[in-house]
Amino acid sequence: DDDVKAELESMVESGFRSRVINEALRKELLLMRRKGLSARLDKLRAKTSPVSTRDVVALIRRDRGR
């Protein structure tokens, strides 16, 4: 958008704009990836039964051979 471009040009000196844009894209893509994974976990959570903390700890200890 023209307004975003104008603000970028006024706030970031020439030579650094690509870096700023790449970093912003990297952060946005990470956020999108996290939201997608969170949605997948929510779907899985809806299909499974809850497990108590005690049971989780017992399973971890069993798998570690304690």
Q: What is the pLDDT of residues 51-61, one digit of tens each?
A: 999 999 999 99
Tens digits of per-residue pLDDT, 24-39?
999 999 999 999 999 9
Task: Say which amino acid occupies 36.
Answer: G
Cα-based distances in Å from 28 to 12, 13, 40, 51: 19, 22, 18, 33
> Binning pLDDT at 50, 70 and 90, where does residue 65 land?
confident
User: What predicted TM-score, i.e. pTM, was given to this entire model?
Assistant: 0.66
